[in-house]
A = this chain, B = another copy of it.
Amino acid sequence: MTGWIAIAGMGPGDAALITPEVTAALAQATDVVGYASYVARVAARADLTLHASDNRVELERAAQALELAAAGRRVVVVSSGDPGVFAMAAAVFEALEEGHPDWRELDIRVLPGITAMLAASARAGAPLGHDFCAINLSDNLKPWDLIERRLRLAAEADFAMAFYNPRSKARPEGFGRALDVLREACGGERPVLFARAVCTPEEVLRIVALRDARPEMADMRTMVIVGSSRTRLIERPGAPILYTPRSAE
């Protein structure tokens, strides 16, 4: 077998945030596999086959990529952000674990990228400058009770919290409940960052107090970061800076 798979992070959207490692892998690839809107970010080339698929078919897409590599193709699986954070790397390893035993001999690499919470944090200041957690608010693959339990424990630990997939048309209710749980656990003062389409031409950043946060401020393209008890704003001309000091006290 001379094929390989690279599961690559394309970052949040801006080409200037794609690592040279990922660019080099794409240049060597024969096939690109991914969700259509991420595949659309790869430049077309005569010797490159683009396999765009729909959302919510991660396991089928992963198996397709493994099959292509097993057939000797050089395959890049594209993810937005970082492939290891709520993205395609875990799906590929699930498919590998359940799939053909020969697949385990494949050359498989994960190429890291700038995940959405780091991009959003950088654009707003440094809200993740002290201990923090990252939670996927989608309840497609876990029970809602577990999400609520994690929110309460994260608040008790006084983590800053980064939320991926806060809200979709299929799940409009959960994020409102999450905000209620957080208000109960943290009070209303906590700053909340809504970073929509971060590092793209449509980027919008908005910072509100937790008491004023509303579910409709987020959609599936929004990264939400809720500060810890120490997170604060530096007012200045233009947008304020949101950051969490390094010290706990």
Number of copies: 2
Chain B: CB-nearest residue to A110: B122
Contact among B90, B236, B246 for A130, CB-based, below 8 A: B90
Cβ contact within 8 Å between B126 and A93: yes
Q: Which of A126, A135, A146 has the most CB of B within 10 A?
A: A126
Cβ contact within 8 Å between A122 and B126: no
Cβ contact within 8 Å between A112 and B105: no
A74 to chain B, nearest CB (A): 17
Give chain A's interface secondary structure class.
Answer: mixed
Q: Which of A31-39, A79-87, A168-176, A189-197 contacts B (4 or more CB under 8 A)?
A: A79-87
Please report the C-alpha to C-alpha distance between residue A104 and residue B241 in the assembled complex, in whole angstroms: 10
Please report the C-alpha to C-alpha distance between residue A89 and residue B119 in the assembled complex, in whole angstroms: 13
Contacts A84-B121, A112-B122: A244 and B133 contacting too (C-beta < 8 A)?
no
Cβ contact within 8 Å between B123 and A130: no
Chain B: CB-nearest residue to A136: B131
